[in-house]
A and B are shown apart, each in its own frame.
Chain A
Amino acid sequence: MNSSRQPMKGEQYFWPLLAALLFLAVWHLSVKWSGTKVFPSPFDVERGMAELVHRGLLVRYVADSLGRVAGGYSVAVLLGVPVGLLLGWYPAAAFVVNPTIQILRPISPIAWIPVSIVWFGVGNLAAIYLIFLASFFPIVVASMNAVRNVPSMYRRAGRNFGLSPAMLIAKVVFPASLPQIIVGLRIALGIAWLVVVAAEMIAIDSGLGYLVIDSRNSGKRYDLVVAAMILIGLTGLALDTMFRRIEKLKSVRWGFRYES
């Protein structure tokens, strides 16, 4: 917040909640006044949500989507961070590899769907592979740049205390670049969550993306379509909130600007 005024207790929730309620009200009234038969009102969506809970689909689909993201994303982190660290540490290697990365990076993961189906068939593995691809490149690039931005003073101090190159990377370069790497990881997780929905619409028959496309195709259940969309939004928010918690850990917080 920009104002120096201390917010009152509860006030930090009051206004955002009011905005959300206002949004729901506008939505409800537009549906009512336009007399649409296709688009659901918030109450229809609520009933749809209840139906999903009742049929046991809500938890299962959220868990399926999260599971795929967990799979593809963790492989991307485990490979992408070390690759990025090395490319940042050895500029010569980065010089060789960077053009290739920069060409692969702007290709939308959606464009990879046919290829991944050819390689992995219709199923979990294809979706996981797409999520991996989508998050791998941002993680590599963020880690590489993070290493390059480590002040030379820290590296000198590390060398002064007699660290070998491997220890220097582990004890100085990695912790010094961690805040920036975490920003990259957070962005990559957001992308992974976008991509899982797309992948599930095409290559798979479970998960929130599947719920969207299936509800539309089998009986035009737009109440369920919108319910799925809201679940996608809420889960994405939860993932992002989790990451913001990590940013507040004291060993990395120095790298972030916070209004105190």
Chain B
Amino acid sequence: MERTTAIAHVGSGHFAHGINSELTRQLQAEGIGMSFTRDGNLIRVLENINLEVAKGEFVCLLGPSGCGKSTLLNIVAGFIAPTQGHVRIGGEAVRGPDPRRIFVFQERGVFPWLTVEGNIAFGLSEIPKSERIQRIAHYVRLVGLVGFETTYPQELSGGMKQRLEVARALAVNPDMLFLDEPFGALDSITRLIMRGELLRIWEAERKTIIFVTHDIEEAVQLADRVVVMSARPARIQSVVEINIDHPRDISSRAYLELRDGIFEQIGLAHKV
């Protein structure tokens, strides 16, 4: 049932129609492997991961908890060096974190000692003041935090903190966003709202997004492509294209078929 690799093809979905794939291909992960030794045992976390992501694409990495998908995202972001293979973004090898690619943690990543404005301005110290003020105002509006500019994070709700972190990331105008289970700590209603917000922001800004989740519904609702990963050592089990336009009707046949297909692949009977 496990296929070792699936090189995902670029030009997926509606976005890359008629564009040369060489131009739109933004990220390439080639033969990524990750292993470490603990108490003398070799633990393999990732094995032979090959993945390509196109510019402006929304890709979800989906897999069971602890399968190594977060590790993969950290490798792609440059926080961890893989033991095998390499990641190239825009043709150049990834050597470390870079302001052009911002990693969004769960809402705990906002800086509690800075106000909403201070957080959004965090990566903007090198731009002229007038433009900085403009950008802050723009992103405060975009993520719906108007009126909370001088509020400290401890007075914000979980969803607001998460939106603040997304705003802080977008404010430096990155090419890519890496989101590591960003809505995992939110209640299910807030999570649903946040997915809509993220899609709205994505449609407005068209950043490339790699989004790690263990929630099948979340992946099918958000992504252009869902990369399904197996349990440890994680491999890419399959890549599912979600060819449904936004906003997605989550009771439509197309949606349910894709969702159930992934449930089956992961080996879950879709019954409780």
Q: Which residue of chain B is the closest to A156 with respect to CB atoms?
A: B79
Are A160 and B111 neighbours in the complex by a CB distance under 8 Å? no
Q: Which candidate, A87-95, A210-218, A230-238, A248-256, is the interface stretch facing chain B?
A: A248-256
How close is B110's CB to chain A, nearest CB, in angstroms?
Answer: 9
Instruction: Tell me, in angstroms, the Cα distance from A132 to B102 when the chains sit together.
Output: 44
Known: A160-B77, A254-B152. A175 touches B113 (CB 8 A): yes
Name the contact of B99 in the complex, choosing from A161, A175, A253 (C-beta under 8 A): A161
Q: Which of A156, A161, A176, A252 has the most CB of B within 10 A?
A: A161
State whether the Cβ of B123 lies closer than 8 Å to any Cβ in chain A.
yes
Q: Which of B49-87 contact A (CB under 8 A)?
A: 77, 79
CB within 8 Å of A: which B157-173 residues = 172
Interface residues as binary, B104-122 with A (CB distance below 8 Å gives 1, 0 otherwise): 0100110111100000001
Asked if A16 is at the interface of the complex by the 8 Å CB criterion, the answer is no
- Residue of A153, A160, A176, A252 with highest tally of chain B CB at under 10 A: A160
Closest to A254 in B: B112
Q: Within the complex, which residue of B97, B112, B114, B153 is in contact with A160, where a contact is CB–CB below 8 Å? A: B97
Partner of A162, one of B77, B79, B123: B123
A170 to chain B, nearest CB (A): 11
Q: Please, which residue of chain A has its CB at the minimum distance from the CB of B103?
A: A160
Max chain A C-beta neighbours (<10 A), residue from B97, B108, B172: B97
A160 & B102 in contact (Cβ 8 Å cutoff): yes
Query: Which A residue's beta carbon lies closest to that of B118?
Result: A251
Chain A nearest CB: distance from B118 CB in Å? 9
Taking the complex as formed, is A154 at the interface, i.e. its CB lies under 8 A from any CB of chain B? yes
Write out the residue numbers on chain A whose beta carbons fall within 8 Å of the beta carbon of B123. Answer: 161-162
Q: B190 at interface (Cβ–Cβ under 8 A)?
A: no
Q: Within 8 Å of chain A (Cβ to Cβ): is B35?
A: no
Asked whether A175 lies within 8 Å of B154 as measured between CB atoms, the reply is: no
Q: Is B203 an interface residue (CB 8 A)?
A: no
Asked, given contacts A161-B122, A161-B123, A254-B154, whether A172 binds B99 with beta carbons under 8 Å apart, the answer is no
- Cβ contact within 8 Å between A172 and B111: yes
The distance in angstroms between the C-alpha atoms of A253 and B154, with both chains bound, is: 9
Q: Which residues of chain A from 106 to 152 have a CB within 8 Å of any chain B CB? A: 151
User: In the complex, what's the smallest C-beta–C-beta distance from A84 to chain B, in angstroms?
Assistant: 18
Binary interface encoding of chain A residues 161-202 relative to chain B, with 1 for a CB under 8 A from any of its CBs, else 0: 110000000011001101000000000000000000000000
Flag if B111 contacts A250 (CB, 8 Å): no
- Distance in angstroms between the alpha carbons of A191 and B77 in the assembled complex: 47
A-B contact count (CB 8 A): 53
Q: Which residues of B contact A161 (CB under 8 A)?
A: 99, 102, 122-123, 172
Given known A156-B97, A162-B123, A253-B154, contact A176–B109 (CB-CB < 8 A): no
Q: With A160-B102, A161-B122, A161-B123 in contact, do A175 and B97 touch (Cβ < 8 Å)?
A: no
A252 to B154, CA, bound (A): 11
Chain B residue contacts of A253, Cβ below 8 A? 152, 154
Shortest C-beta distance, A73 to chain B (Å), equals 24
Task: Tell me the count of chain A residues lying within 8 A, CB to CB, of chain B.
Answer: 20
B111 touches A175 (CB 8 A): yes
Whether A252 contacts B113 by the Cβ 8 Å rule is yes
Q: Does B2 contact A (CB under 8 A)?
A: no
State the Cβ distance, B122 to closest chain A Cβ, in Å: 6
Q: B172's closest neighbor in chain A, by CB?
A: A161
Contact of A157 among B103, B113, B152, B153 (CB under 8 A): B103
Contact yes or no, B102 A251, CB < 8 A: no
Q: Is B205 on the interface with A (CB-CB < 8 A)?
A: no
How far in angstroms is the closest Cβ of chain B from A153?
A: 5
Nearest CB in chain B to that of A161: its residue: B123
B residues near A244, Cβ cutoff 8 Å = none
Considering only CB atoms, which chain B residue lies closest to A159 in the complex?
B97
State which of A157, A252, A254 has its C-beta within 8 Å of the C-beta of B109: A157
Q: Is the CB–CB distance between A160 and B113 below 8 Å?
A: no
Contact with B along A7-28 (1 / 0, CB 8 A): 0000000000000000000000
> Which residues of the partner chain B approach A160 to less than 8 Å between Cβ atoms?
77, 97-99, 101-103
Contacts of A250 on B, CB cut-off 8 Å?
152
Cβ contacts under 8 Å, B112 to chain A: 254-255
The residue that A254 contacts in the complex, of B97, B153, B172, with Cβ under 8 A, is: B153
Chain A residue with minimal CB distance to B96? A159
Q: Which 10 A-B pairs have the closest CB atoms?
A: A254-B112, A161-B123, A162-B99, A175-B113, A160-B97, A254-B154, A251-B113, A159-B97, A250-B152, A153-B105
Q: Given A160-B77, A160-B97, A160-B99, list of 5 further CB < 8 A pairs?
A: A157-B103, A157-B105, A161-B99, A172-B111, A251-B114
Listed A/B pairs (15) with beta-carbon separation below 8 Å: A151-B108, A153-B108, A154-B109, A154-B111, A156-B97, A157-B105, A157-B109, A161-B123, A172-B111, A175-B111, A175-B114, A250-B152, A252-B113, A254-B112, A254-B154
